[in-house]
C-alpha cells in the first residue's frame, strides 16, 4: 500500500457531508491521477458519503492508492440492507423528505457507484452493517 | 460559449467567482435533482438549478462543473457564497425560470450535457 485516507461520516450531518469527497478529489489531483478516473472516484465517493449520512448509523469512507489502482471503501455499522438486489435497482429509495428536498434520494446512488467503478462489491447484513468496495484502474 | 455571454443572456447577477467569466463551456445541465446530475451530466458543464443548499456546490464540484446558476431568483445564503469562493467556483442568480434559461442557452448554441 502506498497511501491511505480515511474519513468518518456521521448520520444526518449534511453540513459536513461532502467534505471527505472533496478532500479525496484534491488528493488525487495532487497525486497526478488522470481526470477521468478522478471524476469517477469523486462521484462514486460522494454518492457513498451521502449514503452514509442519509441511511447509515455512521461509518467511514476510505481511499487506498495502490500501484495501478485506487480502492474506495464505504463501510457502516448499520442498519444494513435487507434486500441488496432491490437496493441496487435504479429508482428504488427509502430516503425521507428532508433528503429529497436537498435533491437526493432518487434511488440512483448505488447504481451510480457501480457504473463509475471498474469493480464493485457490496455486502450487507441487517443489524450489522454494509460494506462497499470499489476498484478503479489508474493504468492507462 | 464564454460564461460572460451566459451571464449576459440570462441577465444573471454574479455572486462569486467573477474571475471565471472568461472561461469557456460547451454544455449545460438543468435539474433540481442532484442525484441525476451525478448520473447523467457530462464533464465541464454548467449547472442550472433552483436548489440553494450546500450539496448543490458539492455535486457540481464532484461532477467537474465550474459554474452554478440559481434560477427563479433563488439566492443562496452568505455561507454558500463563501463556500463557492473557497471552492473557486462561479455562481450566479437569475430571475428567469429553468425552462427559459435552458431555451435561451440552447438557442445560442450551448448543448445539453447528456452523458448517456
Cross-chain CB nearest to B58 (options A46, A105, A111) = A46
| CATH number for the domain harbouring residue A103 | 3.30.565.10
Is A39 in contact with B51 (Cβ distance < 8 A)? no
The Cβ of residue A65 has, within 10 Å, a number of other Cβ atoms equal to 17
Compute CA A84 distance to the chain's CA centroid, rounded to the nearest angstrom. 15
Strand duo B90-93 + B13-16: pairing: antiparallel
Share of chain A above pLDDT 90, in %: 96
Residues of chain B with pLDDT under 70: none
* Nine cell digits for residue A49: 458519503
Instruction: Report phi then psi at B29, rounded to 5.
Output: -135, 130
Share of chain B above pLDDT 90, in %: 96
> How far away is chain B from the Cα of A115, in angstroms, using its nearest Cα?
9
**Could you tell me the residue range of the domain that residue A93 belongs to?**
3-137
User: What is the pLDDT confidence band of residue A6, given thresholds at 50, 70 and 90?
Assistant: very high
User: What is the pLDDT confidence band of residue A2, given thresholds at 50, 70 and 90?
Assistant: confident
pTM of the complete model: 0.95
The Cβ of residue A135 has, within 10 Å, a number of other Cβ atoms equal to 15
Is A21 in contact with B62 (Cβ distance < 8 A)? yes
Q: Which residues of A touch B53 (CB under 8 A)?
A: 14, 102-103
User: What is the pLDDT confidence band of residue A110, given thresholds at 50, 70 and 90?
Assistant: very high
Average pLDDT over residues A31-52: 97
Please report, for residues A95, B4, B70, the alpha-carbon distance to residue A56 in angstroms, rounded to integers and kept in the order given: 11, 42, 31
pLDDT of residue A25: 97
For residues A88 and A114, the answer to whether their CB atoms sit within 8 Å is: yes
CA-angle at B47, arms to B6 and B116, nearest 5°: 115
User: What is the pLDDT confidence band of residue A1, given thresholds at 50, 70 and 90?
Assistant: low
Q: For residue A140, is pLDDT > 90? A: no
Share of chain A above pLDDT 70, in %: 99
Number of domains observed in the structure of chain A: 1
> How far away is chain A from the Cα of B43, in angstroms, using its nearest Cα?
8
| Interface predicted TM-score of the whole assembly (ipTM), two decimals | 0.94
Mean pLDDT, chain A, rounded, equals: 95
DSSP code, position B27:
E
Q: For residue A57, is pLDDT > 90? A: yes
Which one has a higher pLDDT value, A62 or B43?
Answer: A62
In chain B, domain spans: 3-109
Interface test with A, best of B35, B36, B41, B80 (most A CBs within 10 A): B35
Helix (H, G, I), strand (E, B) or coil at B110: coil
Domain B3-109 has CATH 3.40.1390.20: yes
Cross-chain CB nearest to A106 (options B35, B51, B56) = B35
Is A43 in contact with B62 (Cβ distance < 8 A)? yes
> How far away is chain A from the Cα of B73, in angstroms, using its nearest Cα?
18
**Touching check for B43 and chain A: CB below 8 Å?**
yes
> How far away is chain A from the Cα of B42, in angstroms, using its nearest Cα?
10
pLDDT of residue B101: 98
**Touching check for B88 and chain A: CB below 8 Å?**
no
Amino acid at each position: 500500500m502506498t497511501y491511505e485516507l480515511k474519513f468518518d461520516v456521521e448520520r444526518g450531518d449534511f453540513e459536513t457531508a461532502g467534505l471527505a469527497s472533496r478532500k479525496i478529489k484534491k488528493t488525487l489531483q495532487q497525486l497526478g491521477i488522470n481526470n477521468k478516473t478522478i471524476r469517477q472516484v469523486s462521484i462514486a465517493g460522494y454518492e457513498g458519503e451521502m449514503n452514509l449520512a442519509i441511511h447509515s448509523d455512521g461509518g467511514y469512507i476510505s481511499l487506498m492508492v495502490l500501484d495501478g489502482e485506487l480502492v474506495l471503501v464505504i463501510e457502516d455499522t448499520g442498519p444494513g440492507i435487507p434486500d441488496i438486489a432491490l437496493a441496487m435497482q435504479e429508482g428504488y429509495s427509502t430516503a425521507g423528505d428532508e433528503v429529497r428536498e436537498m435533491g437526493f434520494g432518487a434511488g440512483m446512488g448505488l447504481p451510480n457507484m457501480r457504473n463509475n467503478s471498474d469493480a464493485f462489491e457490496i455486502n450487507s447484513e441487517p443489524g450489522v452493517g454494509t460494506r462497499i468496495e470499489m476498484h478503479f484502474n489508474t493504468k492507462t | 460559449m464564454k460564461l460572460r455571454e451566459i451571464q449576459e443572456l440570462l441577465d444573471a447577477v454574479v455572486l462569486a467567482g467573477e474571475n471565471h467569466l472568461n472561461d469557456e463551456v460547451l454544455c449545460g445541465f438543468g435539474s433540481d435533482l442532484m442525484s441525476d446530475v451525478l448520473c447523467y451530466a457530462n464533464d465541464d458543464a454548467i449547472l442550472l438549478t433552483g436548489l440553494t443548499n450546500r450539496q448543490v456546490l458539492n455535486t457540481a464540484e464532484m461532477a467537474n462543473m465550474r459554474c452554478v446558476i440559481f434560477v427563479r431568483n433563488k439566492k443562496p445564503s452568505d455561507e454558500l457564497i463563501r463556500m463557492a469562493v473557497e471552492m473557486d467556483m462561479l455562481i450566479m442568480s437569475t430571475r428567469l425560470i429553468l425552462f427559459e434559461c435552458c431555451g435561451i442557452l440552447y438557442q445560442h448554441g450551448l448543448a445539453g450535457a447528456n452523458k448517456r
